[in-house]
Amino acid sequence: MTRTGIEALSFYTPHRYISLKTLAEHHGIDPAKFSNGIGQDMIALPGHDEDIVTMAAEAARPIIEKYGRDDIDTVMLATETGIDQSKAASIYVHQLLNLQSNCRCVELKQACYSATPALQMACSYVARKPNKKVLVIASDVARYDLDSSGEATQGAGAVAMLVSSQPKTLEIGTTSGVFSEDIMDFWRPNDRRTPLFDGKFSALRYLNALVEAWKDYQVNGGKSYDEFSHFCYHLPFSRMGDKANRHLAKNAGHALNKETAENGLLYNRIIGNSYTASLYIALISTLDNAKDDLTGKSIGLFSYGSGASAEFFDATVSKNYQEHLFINRHKDILNERTAVNYEEYKELWNAPKVNPEGETIFSDEARGRYRLAKIDDNKRIYIDKQAQ
Ligand code: CAA
């Protein structure tokens, strides 16, 4: 069978954040509730000229620069914060990255889960067409109502994965455990910019879905618990990863080793929720922050999307994977950021009013190469600053 998986993967997050200490101070609550109770220190904040498209293109840029664009014939963009009800965001990304026109572009949705079926479908596709590559991108802006219980779990980010029959970073296993149920734990009707949610219920259903997906993974002949050196979880907030890790160990009948998930939580703690991207930021965080060589190690991955659909699957770290990581770029992206005060945060949180009949021009704030320059007659105009 053709080995398939991730040739390279990279993330992007915007250059501004609000510290959760600032948020706690504003609300007059103990900052330890956020740092310990929720496990978050910062919330990444996109500017008005940044969105899922600009973050997606910026996440993919280093991959395109290093591995080229010629073999990519499919772009799958997973998001739950889509910018159009009809046109796929991947078409804008395809244009910004100058990919060949003989390429299919789609957008996938199922809350925070859809990057995982995109990755699985991409693996199946390249098994059939080993000379082709698929760009799978997860990109989201997690925005909750101000003063709501979800406010501390906002964030933004994108992950791009080059999926191919040369899995130079991670080989994706062919066994999966899946689980779905029709519940209202978190959802966003078409006319809303922010989601509706039942926070405590959603956390309980997440843990239930983890056990059900794990059981299905075992039934389908998956690896045993002690074959895994690391676990990565969907991270709406990093403490959820701790809870999931404990819950899985207990249900699999093993003692908890906190270290199996610890490195995966590091980046999310200072980015916040990035919905579809958060599991894959956890995966990058695990690889980037490993002290030891992870070659040959098995990583268990749990993907959860409210509503709900979930999957447990595995990845095996490839030989010489270190040559395909973007550690320095990731560290720069995280280190070269600016904290904003509460007033600036509110200004970023509120979307500018778009003129439906004319032009709305956005000031140049994005640190990356790509930005949303304007919305003209309801058409989004993105630019590559270096092509200007
Ligand atoms: N010091 C330390 N810890 C403190 C504290 C303090 N001073 N004050 C409170 N805490 C602890 C609490 O004991 C609690 O810990 P446990 O979870 O161990 O009980 C924790 O901080 C959270 O506090 P609350 O129980 O008061 O919870 P909250 O009302 O602030 O809500 C939340 C927390 C439910 C996660 C809320 O932020 C939320 O609804 N978020 C959005 C929904 C969400 O993320 N759901 C996750 C599953 S669904 C999913 O994964 C999809 C997705 O991406 C959204």
Q: Can you say how many angstroms the Cα of residue 199 is from the centroid of all Cα atoms in its chain?
A: 20
**Cα-flanking dihedrals φ and ψ of residue 247, to 5°?**
-65, -40
For residues 160 and 363, the answer to whether their CB atoms sit within 8 Å is no
Structurally, the chain folds into a number of domains equal to 1
User: Is residue 371 within 8 Å of 363, Cβ to Cβ?
Assistant: no
Distance 269 CA to ligand 1 centre (A): 14
352 pLDDT exceeds 90?
no
What are the catalytic residues? 80, 112, 234
Nearest to 368 by CA among 113, 109, 67, 44: 44
Handedness of CA 259, 166, 60, 314 (dihedral sign): negative
Q: Which residues pair with 372 in a beta bridge?
A: 382
Contacts of 192 (CB under 8 A, 6+ apart): none
Decide if pLDDT at 388 tops 80.
no
Pocket test for ligand 1, best of 80, 186, 275, 279 (most atoms within 8 A of CB): 186
Within 10 A of 247 (CB to CB), how many other CB atoms are there?
A: 18
In this structure, what CATH number is given to the domain that contains residue 248? 3.40.47.10
Ligand 1, atom 15, lies closest to the CA of 37
Question: Whose structure tokens read 């990919």?
Answer: 99
Question: Is pTM, for the whole model, over 0.95?
Answer: yes
Q: What contacts 221, CB < 8 A, 6 or more positions away?
A: 175
Q: HSE of 377 in the Cβ direction (CA atoms, 13 Å)?
A: 0
Q: Which amino acid is at 51?
A: D
Domain of residue 284: give its range: 5-387
Question: How far is the centre of ligand 1, averaged over its atoms, from the C-alpha of 38 (Å)?
Answer: 5
Which of 7, 9, 61 has the alpha carbon at shortest distance from 232? 9
Q: Coil, strand or helix: which one is 46?
A: coil
Which protein residue's CA is at the shortest distance from atom 48 of ligand 1? 202
Over the stretch 157-203, which tens digit does the pLDDT of each residue have? 999 999 999 999 999 999 999 999 999 999 999 999 999 999 999 99
Return the structure tokens found at 362: 């956005």
Residue 293: half-sphere exposure toward Cβ, Cα within 13 Å: 7
- 272-290 residue pLDDT tens: 999 999 999 999 999 999 9
- Mean pLDDT (the chain, rounded): 97
Structure tokens at 290: 């490993």
Nearest to 177, CA basis, from 275, 301, 79, 3: 301
CA 265 to ligand 1 center in whole angstroms: 16
- pLDDT tens-digit series, residues 109-161: 999 999 999 999 999 999 999 999 999 999 999 999 999 999 999 999 999 99
